[in-house]
A and B are shown apart, each in its own frame.
Chain A
Amino acid sequence: MKTVSKGKGKKTKIAATEDAWNLRLYVAGQTQKSITAFANLKKICEEHLAGKYKIEVIDLLKNPQLAKGDQIIALPTLVRKLPEPIKKIIGDLANTERVLVGLDIRAV
């Protein structure tokens, strides 16, 4: 609960920035994996995309119909909506190297 509300707060702050990385994190409730995933994502974003990202956390327990749209099967799943193309990273994002590869952040 704490993490999610934090994220939401972050999101609203970042929304103003133009050069946006639009990231969406799908989770199902407050599980250990979703908390870990969010924490890991936050850390990576702060390190590599400070000031130009926004994170949207979607709890599928609350909005199950949203799972279809982004073809969510595994949880947690991080979807990079922007910049295009859409990328998907599943897991608790513990492996930072692979998250960076997955988000294509190396180049930055």
Chain B
Amino acid sequence: MVKKKHDAVLLEKCPTGIKGLDEITKGGLPKGRPTLICGSAGCGKTLFAMEFLLRGAMDFGEPGVFMTFEETPADLAKNFISLGFDINDMMSRGLIAMDHVYIERSEIEETGEYDLQGLFIRLGAAIDSVGAKRVVLDTIEVLFSGLSDSAILRAELRRLFHWLKERGVTAIVTGESGEKTLTRYGLEEYVADCVILLDFRIDEQISTRRLRIIKYRGSSHGADEYPFLIDEGGLSILPITSLGLDYPVSSQRVSTGVPKLDAMLEGKGFYRGSTILISGTAGTGKTSLAATFADAACRRGERCLYFAFEESPSQIIRNMASIGMDLAQWVKKGLLRFHSVRPSLYGLEMHLLTFHKVINEFDPQVFIVDPISNLSAAGSVSEVKSILTRLIDYLKMTNITTFLTDLTRYEGSLEHTSEEISSLIDTWLLVRDIELNGERNRGLYILKSRGMAHSNQIQEFLLTNQGIDLIDIYTGAGEVLTGSARAAQEAGERASDLARQREVARRLRAQERKKNALEAKIAALRAEFDVETLEVHLMAEEEQKNQAVQAEDRLNMAQLRKRGPSAPRTLRSKKKTKG
């Protein structure tokens, strides 16, 4: 914070308005000082300078002077109208002044001492005419070919830059690249404050423009080579390498569009804003998965941007209709946008810029690239990785859920992306084909998924006319079976299960019968026992009775034998009376 303040006090900056440049330079070009833009022919120096001037006039209220040494103002106006800048209109509104300095050596004879005061006067007059705060000299080196006395020229250039500083205008001076020096005539010697190099390279017939800040006195700046693009919107630079890892993360979850796949991801799906990669060999259903995800996003009412590198939008729509998905409705509703280009159409940087442009225009919640592996056709592995890193960083910053597909070559390991971006991926799904018994089936599993407890199961991946379905694959008896083998195995198992169940039931019934028989037997024995018991009881009773009778008999007999005169008589008389 303190440093920032310090910076601002030290050096005031002049915003260029060129997309991305102000971020790299942390605010723009040094205000009130000259900046040198150098580069080879056709690298965009004039455009850079012109855009600086025009944007200054339009967006920052700083009128400017364009002093051209090469092209005529008419040509320039014609060239820039195609980029959306109406120079003639701006000149008539007094925002821009143009001066064409024409030097033809053959028409000029040099006879002794001279200076370039004429140029100063012209420039001064032009600056005064519009109250310019910005000046472009494009390209002042022409003076060296027009005038022969380079000692005078050098002294005058030094004076010119000094004079520009004194006038307090922010100037851009362009210069053609030299063989060993930055500019052919060593302009960098005079313009010591800020030097920007533009580069235009062609690798394998694909051109890439790059920009580098070679020096920026009194200010920190991005030191990398930044790719830039010239299109109908002018110049845009991608300062994406300056992105950090401090993007916000979301704990919101989004459905994958396949309920069973959601189930594998804690039943909730992917994290919003995460990066999902699905890799697999050809024909494993990557596009179908991507389209399903897109479909699910549109169903939630989100916007989805689909970059297709292999198929045309109509072909994708047709193919997805065959698995029961109507993508055309989303396109019609404006929720789904396809962007189909051949990867080899232009260079990687251009692809990245296109991504950015379309993303900024469409502002999607879901972004799909199908497949990223095709990008390697447009650049080397390290370049693709760098592009994808920057893209993914950018998408994470903006909390866009990214779904990438990657075509794996057969010879390569499946758990390896051709672009070596695995470390950038949050959730990585793998679809592979499983060949067995003359069949080719698809298996899907989650290789990794950061921040969630995900399933470790391989699922069989089916494309039906109802969409994608996942089935647990057969993993019994120490083998993994899919497709009809799985079905057969399962049917066989079901049959043997049934047989076993029957057997058990039969045994159970037999046992039941046995039990019943046993119980019957027990009952019979018990009955017999009861009968015996009864008999024994009866016998015992009889015996008791008998004994009682005998006892009475004995008593009677005893009485009869021992008859006494009184007692027995009374007893006998009693008996007799009774009787």
Contacts and interface: CB of A to CB of B under 8 A. Distances in A.
Contact of A74 (B99, B107, B118): B118
A99 B109 contact: yes
Nearest to A86: B107
Contact of B118 (A26, A40, A65, A91): A26
B381 to A, nearest CB: 52
How many chain B residues sit at the interface, stated as a range, is 20 to 34
Contacts of B118: 26, 28, 60, 67, 72-75, 77
Nearest to B101: A73
Given A73-B101, A74-B147, A89-B109, A64 B115 contact: no
B109 A73 contact: no
B159 to A, nearest CB: 13
A95 B101 CA distance: 26
B114 A90 contact: yes
Interface in A53-88: 60-61, 64-65, 67-68, 71-77, 86-88
A42 interface: no
A71 B114 contact: no
Given A88-B107, A99-B109, A101-B109, A64 B114 contact: no
B105 to A, nearest CB: 11
A95 B113 CA distance: 10
Interface string B74-112: 000000000000000000000000010111000111111
Contact of A90 (B99, B102, B108, B125): B108
A23 interface: no
B124 interface: yes
A98 B117 contact: no
A102 interface: yes
A87 to B, nearest CB: 7
B113 to A, nearest CB: 5
Contact of B116 (A40, A73, A92): A73
Interface in B112-130: 112-119, 121-122, 124-125
A68 B111 contact: no
Contacts of A101: 109
A50 interface: no
A68 B100 CA distance: 8
B143 interface: yes
A16 interface: no
B125 A67 contact: yes
B103 A90 contact: no
Interface residues of A, number: 32
Interface in A3-29: 26, 28
Given A68-B99, A73-B143, A75-B117, A87 B122 contact: no
B143 to A, nearest CB: 7
Given A28-B118, A73-B118, A88 B108 contact: yes
A91 B111 contact: yes
A60 B124 CA distance: 11
A52 interface: no
A99 B111 CA distance: 6
B121 to A, nearest CB: 5
B114 A91 contact: yes
A58 to B, nearest CB: 11
Contact of B112 (A26, A64, A73, A91): A91
Contact of A93 (B111, B124, B125): B111
B123 to A, nearest CB: 10
B160 to A, nearest CB: 11
A68 B109 CA distance: 19
Contact of A92 (B111, B119, B125, B143): B111
A90 B109 contact: yes
A68 B119 CA distance: 9
A71 B124 CA distance: 15
Nearest to A67: B122
A40 to B, nearest CB: 8
Contacts of A67: 118, 121-122, 125
B111 A60 contact: no
B72 to A, nearest CB: 12
Contact of B121 (A33, A61, A71): A61
Nearest to B152: A74
Contacts of A74: 114-119, 147
Contacts of A33: 113-115
Interface of B: 99, 101-103, 107-119, 121-122, 124-125, 143, 146-147
Task: Report the 6 A-B pairs with minimum CB-CB distance, sorted nearest first.
Answer: A102-B109, A94-B112, A91-B112, A64-B125, A72-B118, A91-B111
Given A60-B118, A71-B102, 9 more contacts: A60-B117, A61-B121, A73-B118, A73-B122, A88-B107, A90-B108, A90-B111, A91-B110, A92-B113
20 contacts: A64-B121, A64-B122, A67-B118, A68-B99, A68-B122, A71-B101, A72-B121, A73-B103, A73-B116, A73-B122, A74-B114, A77-B114, A86-B107, A88-B108, A89-B111, A92-B111, A92-B113, A94-B112, A95-B111, A98-B111
